[in-house]
Chains A and B, each alone.
Chain A
């Protein structure tokens, strides 16, 4: 609950 935003990244484009 105190962790902030969930890390995320764009999908890999081939």
Chain B
């Protein structure tokens, strides 16, 4: 796997307001979670506008009923990160279906109290590492995706 160093990340993050802080946090996270990679790509907002943003894309290791699964996720960092929370999605493969529920909508968007209460101050520093740990715990109780049964057609979601 290619190693991304902090210097290269800073170049990719040149339009980010807190570039150094963001690059350092990404470097720390991908050193711990080796199946996440920083990817620069176009993100389309609800109003149809689009910006090139950094995401952490890959899988998170989640234990569920005695097995470890690699849950595919994509965590988008806005250009005001870490003062705005990431926008997070599960990214099911064609062999998976989303399990909508309290924390996941039909588009795979992730909703967590940690994201809703995101705050980056001297007293309280929400960060990617904390967010990922929360995701792993929540997903180990309620996986956001399931393997599609082989007899079902694709592109269905399972209602909780």
Chain A contact residues, CB within 8 Å of chain B: 2, 4-12
Contacts and interface: CB of A to CB of B under 8 A. Distances in A.
A7 B91 CA distance: 9
A5 B70 CA distance: 7
A10 B72 contact: no
- Looking at chain B's contact residues, is the secondary structure mostly helix, strand, loop, or mixed? strand
Interface string B41-73: 000000000000000001101001101011110
Contacts of B145: 9
Contacts of A5: 35, 58-59, 61, 70
Contacts of B58: 4-5
Contact of A10 (B37, B59, B146): B146
A2 B58 CA distance: 12
Interface residues of B, number: 29
3 closest residue pairs by CB, A with B: A7-B72, A4-B35, A5-B70
Contact of B1 (A4, A6, A7): A4
A12 to B, nearest CB: 5
Contacts of B96: 7, 9
Nearest to B73: A7
6 contacts: A4-B58, A5-B61, A9-B143, A9-B147, A12-B97, A12-B146
Contact of B37 (A4, A6, A8, A12): A4
B158 interface: yes
A9 B69 contact: yes
Nearest to B65: A10
